[in-house]
Structure 1
Amino acid sequence: MTLAGTTQRSRAESTPGPIGLRRRIAGYLALAKPRVVELLLVTTIPAMFLAGREFPDPLLVLFTLVGGTMAASSANALNCVLDADIDKKMNRTRRRPLVRDAVSVRGAAVFGVVLGVASFVLLYATVNLLAAVLAVATILFYIFVYTLLLKRRTPQNVVWGGAAGCMPVVIGWAAVTDTVEWPALVMFGVIFFWTPPHTWALAMRYREDYERAGVPMLPVVATPLAVARQILVYSWVMVAWTLLLLPATSWLYGTFAVLAGAWFLFYAHRLYHGVRAGRPTKPLSLFHRSNTYLMIVFVAIAVDSAIGLPVLGLPF
């Protein structure tokens, strides 16, 4: 491409018109991190199924998902604003909207705040106050506790900061019951213990990125063997934790929880033993399998609840 052609394209993208407008809209959509939001929604719907052990009201599901999407998108957009400086240093994040100047910092901040306010208003008006308050609390926790307090200070950032990603199941439960009961907290724990193996596997692959940006992710400050060992420990705790839902579910969920857990643990062990033996490993494959594992567990919750098989019940 000639220099003149490059200049014309840059001008077209920075001036009003179809090309500039499409670029700006795409930038705002990217701020919301739709792939992350998609994962959160996968856990919200099953929580709503389990809360009533039946198909929840479709309209309630719709409002809860829209409100939850707004809340998650708000947190993601504000996170992009606060992390714009380190996003510039990481190959994995260099295409984000603020780094490419596809969206202004002010525009991104306003977008995030407006989405947060809108999520509260929508959830309060169509679901209930508890769900609305939990959604706003999640945004504030993600921004102030994870992004501002933990992320750049401690390798435990994703352990405790990851609690924000566990909240959709609690919001989904609260949407149906207007309470927070023990099954919601168990589902919270499943995602809580899932987050470190999921995130650390990704960070092992992009260790240099995090090191360059000055983010003390565990793979940056610990040896690969220590990281693989921690992934294995959290994976075992996660799989064991899924079994705490057995009193609220049937044999169907239990079967899938055990089989999916064994499948994931096989690959977590393979990563650990590969690192220990000094063999080439592919931590990114464990990252992708962690997404599949979480989907299997939560789809099993939804199917089990929809079928309505007799629950195993509490042993006391």
Structure 2
Amino acid sequence: MTGRVDTIARRGGERNGARQRPSGGVVDHLVLLKPRVMSLVVFTGAVGFLLAPGPVDWIRLLATLSAIAAGAGACGALNMWWDADIDANMSRTAMRPIPRGAVPPNQALAIGALLAAVSVAALGLQVNWLAAALLALTIVIYIPLYTMVLKRWTPLNIVIGGAAGALPPVIGWAAATNSLSVGAISLFVLIFLWTPPHFWALALCRSLDYERVGVPMLPNVVGPAATCRQIVIYALLLVPASFGPLAIPGVGLLYGSIAAACDAILLWRAFALYRLREAEESPRRKAAMALFAFSILYMFLLFAALLAQVLVRG
């Protein structure tokens, strides 16, 4: 693995010139943990914790979010360690620390493994073992199942692997209550159904990258038209799922109104993309990127609305 990545790093340096000079500093190690993904994971985990019934234990919340952040960082480091070979040959990921030679692969593996073990153990010891088991399940789904197997073998990779990204609010809920309920499951289903259209919209824009490295993302396997159809199907399924959190006590009109507005825009974007399924690549790519960008805002707005309901509930 190390020799292969070193070769890839040299090729990356030749391709990107001076920008590829390794540094291996604090910033590179932070990038290894995928901080943008980590921030979203911590945010949804916090909302799940705060939505759970009962008084808020702020010390427990801090311990929970610290463990979730460490677990997310572990997933980022282990994902970059395993995927270094394909990352080096994709324009979106070629500047990551391992392909660039800034962080040695074995160091990334050690960091990821340590963070994974510490995050699960700390959550179990400081909070409860149900939440720790769910965090361990998240790591297992994302690394051995999605990263090491599904991503390179099936176009359903993101559908099944998306369960990892949908678990953080459930972890937060379990940390607060040491139990699960319909409310926690509704948060899981919301993110689970949101993930495929979100990621497939990006995959439509990066299909040449995925084709180059042999990763069977849906557009490369079934084509753009069928992918646009699947995006619409999942967007339609997402609409009723977005109202699932209304089953949580204290979640009401504020959240429902924002969810309805966001659903309308998401469906408009999805159908606009579907109408261009047979069009030339440029307009379809533009529509796909518009959907991808809004899908990020969609998830943020829904969870921000849920957080607002927590504050209103007092």
Q: Shorter chain as normaliser: what TM range?
A: 0.7 to 0.9
C-alpha distance after superposition, 1:236-293 (max 9, x if no partner): 1112111122232222221111111112111111111133455813111211110100
| Residue ranges of structure 2 left out of the alignment (5+ in a row) | 1-17
C-alpha distance in structure 1 between counterparts of 2:153 and 2:247, whole Å? 39
1:43 aligns with 2:48: no
Q: What letter is aligned with 1:162?
A: G
Distance apart, 1:53 and its partner CA: 7.0
Native 8 Å contact 1:49 1:306 kept in 2 = no
Tell me the SS of whatever aligns to 2:25: helix
Q: Contact conserved, 2:77 with 2:108, CA < 8 A, in 1?
A: yes
Alignment check: 8 A CA contact 2:70 2:119 kept: yes
Partner SS, residue 153 of structure 2:
coil
**Rounded Cα–Cα distance in structure 1 between residues aligned with 2:271 and 2:311:** 34
Q: Are residues 1:211 and 2:211 paired?
A: yes
User: Residues 42 and 168 of structure 2 are in contact (CA less than 8 Å); yes or no, is this contact kept in structure 1?
Assistant: yes
Residue 197 of structure 1 aligns with which residue? Answer: 197
Alignment of structure 1 residues 102-181 onto 2, 5 Å: 102-181=102-181
C-alpha displacement of 1:151: 0.6
Q: 1:300 aligns with which of 283, 286, 305?
A: 305
Partner of 2:266: 264
SS of the equivalent of 1:271 reads helix
The runs of at least 4 aligned residues of structure 1 exceeding 3 Å deviation read 276-279
Higher mean C-alpha deviation, range 24-33 or range 229-238: 24-33
Q: Is the 8 A contact 2:159 2:196 kept in 1?
A: yes
Aligned with residue 280 of structure 1, among 278, 283, 297: 283
Q: How far off is 1:42 after superposition?
A: 2.3
Q: Deviations over 1:166-202 (max 9, x none)?
A: 1101101001111111111111011111000111111
Q: TM-score w.r.t. structure 1 length?
A: 0.87
Q: Give ranges in structure 1 of 5+ residues lacking alignment.
A: 1-9, 15-19, 310-316
Distance, in Å, in 2 between the alignment partners of 1:289 and 1:231 is 14
Which one-letter code corresponds to 1:261 in the other structure?
Answer: D
**1:94 maps to amino acid:** A
Normalised to the residue count of structure 2, the TM-score between the two structures is: 0.88
Does the aligned pair in 2 maintain the 1:46–1:301 contact within 8 Å? yes
In 1, distance between residues paired with 2:268 and 2:137? Answer: 36
The question of whether the paired residues in 1 share the 8 Å contact of 2:182 and 2:247 is answered with no
| Paired residue type of 1:78 | L
1:73 corresponds in structure 2 to 73
The count of residues paired between Structure 1 and Structure 2 equals: 292
Provide the alpha-carbon RMSD of the alignment: 2.1
SS of 2:276's partner is helix
Cα pair 2:183 2:247 within 8 Å, conserved: no
Q: Percent identity?
A: 41
In 2, are the aligned partners of 1:197 and 1:235 still within 8 Å (CA)?
yes
